[in-house]
């Protein structure tokens, strides 16, 4: 088999990390990355099922491959990730030229399955057991965590990495397909997590983002001792080289005081908490089966603000869930106004076959209403984000430089002496400034002179030694 791989990834951080792992495992078998689809021997789509639109995009992309595959039957086309687990054989029905379907719990088998296909054994499929297809332990085993290797070249930037601490989800929010596609919640052993973090630090990684669907529900029991997220943060803080620790996504009910104290007391922990509320209406939250009330959420926000006053808190909301009245939506609007999130991701409800929501509740809010609510909430959040950003005018922030900004990349300017760079503050704010690309991977001071809702604009602070000692000055390094 010729070994050039093209991989296209959509969806959440889990998928980004899964792609990194699959690329690493295939490199071990001699694969190289192809820059585009046409130059590849194996084409993999890493897919998302959270909203229908994401699935439609993947099926359209597969549709566009039909004639390509006819002209090049030797090329292997594979679908991996949540849509592979959810749709399974249906993918072969809708796109009969697909050779490989692999769920997120079976990724370790991809290299062998590709060899079987190349050896002429026909299309291959590897999926995990459904949530009712056997004893829990067997189902858990069929959803294997796949974190054996790291491939630094596949990361968003070499100085930043995701580290999986938990797979699956047991919350079963009624709108959500994730518990079905990613299986039961399972925490990874702390020794494995710490060993991986040390490898990442040795590779030059400065910022680690711990990921899990409900990352703060993490627990691992062994030898009479239970390790929780706060314990992990303490242990990870001791690793030299790692300078920032973030974790996503948090579940409101599991935002315990020990975790907030860890974030407050460990300087490496970023004062940044993503805690999706989903709705501001108790009736909607109950139908979503989120397991908390608006009052619980506000109590949690109060504890966050009291413990870590400077923390940036972000949220997710779904508008147009089944039965959401204007009064329900108004309550969501009021919650956003009250909580003053740094940012919120707002989604229009998308009914997902296979969820309790699809079974129990009609998708009864018209598109126009979903759109309007989406726009109104977004406009409110943008106003709040802009006001919150204003606080940074004239301030100095420490930024981990990620690379050339989108503008520099689009204009092909990313290799100049001075280019527009982008990076993030400790509390996950995006900062754009001019500087030399050699600053990428460094944590540097930036003085902020302008803001927009989601971006701070600044200049590198250079230190001049003079008779009076160190004098800050603004300039381009
Ligand atoms: N585990 C995380 C949590 O509980 O917040 C997030 C998982 S999900 C991949 C990311 C976000 O997608 C959710 O927070 C929710 O707002 C949104 N989402 C999930 N299912 C959805 C659906 N059926 N329609 C619209 N948005 C959805
Ligand atoms: Fe989905 Fe709810 Fe689990 Fe998040 S907590 S992954 S929204 S079921």
Mean pLDDT by 10 residues, the chain (477 residues): 91 94 92 93 97 97 95 96 98 98 96 97 97 93 80 80 95 97 96 94 95 97 96 98 98 98 98 98 98 98 98 98 98 98 98 98 98 98 97 97 88 82 97 95 97 97 60 51
pTM as predicted? 0.94
Q: Whose CA is nearest to atom 5 of ligand 2?
A: 171
d(CA 76, CA 342): 43
**Taking a C-beta distance cutoff of 8 angstroms, is the pair 211, 165 a contact?**
yes
d(CA 393, CA 271): 19
Give 325 Cα–ligand 1 centroid separation in angstroms: 20
**For position 298, what pLDDT does the model report?**
98
**For position 469, what pLDDT does the model report?**
47
d(CA 48, CA 274): 20
In sequence order, the β-bridge partners of residue 328 are none
CB of 242 shorter than 6 A to ligand 1: no
Give 16 Cα–ligand 1 centroid separation in angstroms: 17
**For position 2, what pLDDT does the model report?**
73
**Taking a C-beta distance cutoff of 8 angstroms, is the pair 446, 426 a contact?**
no
CB of 51 shorter than 6 A to ligand 1: yes
Give 349 Cα–ligand 1 centroid separation in angstroms: 9
> Which of 176, 290, 297, 355 to mutate for ligand 2's pocket (most ligand atoms within 8 Å of CB)?
176
**Taking a C-beta distance cutoff of 8 angstroms, is the pair 441, 157 a contact?**
yes
Pocket of ligand 2 (CB under 6 A): 169, 171-173, 176, 178-179, 213-214, 251
State the sign of the Cα–Cα–Cα–Cα dihedral 436, 440, 446, 449. Answer: positive
Residue with tokens 């160190």: 470
Give 76 Cα–ligand 1 centroid separation in angstroms: 32
**For position 333, what pLDDT does the model report?**
98
In this structure, the strands spanning 42-47 and 4-9 are parallel
Tokens in use for 116? 């079987």
Tell me the CA distances in angstroms from 299 to 252, 270, 277, one per residue in order. Answer: 10, 22, 12
Q: Whose CA is nearest to atom 7 of ligand 1?
A: 213
In sequence order, the β-bridge partners of residue 462 are 473
Give 286 Cα–ligand 2 centroid separation in angstroms: 14
């Amino acid at each position: 088999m010729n070994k050039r791989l093209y991989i296209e990834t959509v969806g959440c951080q889990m998928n980004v990390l899964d792609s990194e792992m699959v690329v690493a495992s295939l490199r071990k078998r001699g694969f190289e990355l192809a820059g585009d689809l046409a130059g590849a021997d194996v084409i993999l789509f890493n897919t998302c099922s959270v909203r229908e639109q994401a699935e439609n995009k993947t099926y359209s992309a597969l549709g566009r491959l039909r004639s390509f595959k006819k002209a090049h039957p030797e090329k292997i086309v594979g679908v991996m990730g949540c849509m592979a687990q959810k749709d399974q054989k249906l993918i072969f029905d809708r796109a009969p030229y697909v050779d490989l379907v692999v769920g997120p719990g079976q990724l370790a088998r991809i290299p062998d399955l590709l060899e079987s296909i190349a050896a002429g054994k026909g299309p291959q499929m590897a999926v995990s057991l459904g949530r009712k297809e056997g004893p829990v332990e067997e189902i858990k085993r069929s959803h294997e965590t796949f974190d054996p290797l790291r491939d630094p070249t596949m990361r968003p930037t070499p100085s930043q990495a995701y580290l999986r601490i938990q797979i699956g989800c047991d919350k079963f929010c009624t709108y959500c397909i994730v518990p079905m596609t990613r299986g039961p919640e399972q925490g990874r052993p702390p020794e494995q997590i710490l060993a991986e973090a040390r490898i990442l630090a040795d590779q030059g990684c400065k910022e680690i983002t711990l990921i899990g669907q409900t990352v703060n529900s993490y627990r691992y029991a062994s030898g009479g001792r239970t390790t929780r997220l706060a314990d992990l943060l303490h242990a990870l803080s001791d690793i030299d080289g790692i300078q920032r620790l973030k974790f996503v996504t948090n579940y409101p009910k599991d935002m315990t005081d020990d975790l907030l104290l860890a974030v407050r007391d460990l300087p490496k922990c970023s004062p940044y908490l993503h805690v999706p509320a989903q709705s501001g209406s108790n009736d909607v939250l109950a139908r979503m089966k989120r397991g908390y009330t608006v009052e619980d959420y506000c109590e949690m926000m109060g504890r966050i603000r009291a413990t870590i006053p400077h923390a940036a808190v972000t949220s997710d909301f779904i508008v147009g869930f089944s039965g959401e009245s204007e009064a329900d939506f108004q309550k969501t609007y009021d919650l956003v106004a009250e909580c003053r999130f740094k940012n919120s991701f707002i989604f229009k409800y998308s009914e997902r076959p296979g969820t309790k929501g699809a079974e129990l509740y009609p998708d009864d809010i018209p598109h126009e209403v979903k759109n309007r609510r989406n726009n109104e909430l977004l406009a409110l959040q943008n106003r709040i984000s802009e006001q919150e950003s204003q606080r940074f005018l004239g301030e100095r922030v420490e930024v981990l430089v990620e690379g050339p900004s989108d503008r520099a990349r689009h204009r092909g300017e990313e290799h100049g002496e001075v280019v527009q760079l982008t990076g993030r503050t400790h509390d996950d704010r995006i900062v754009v400034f001019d500087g030399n690309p050699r600053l990428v991977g460094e944590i540097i001071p930036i003085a902020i002179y302008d803001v927009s809702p989601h971006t701070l604009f600044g200049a590198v602070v250079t230190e001049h030694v003079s008779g009076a000692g160190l004098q800050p000055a603004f300039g381009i390094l």
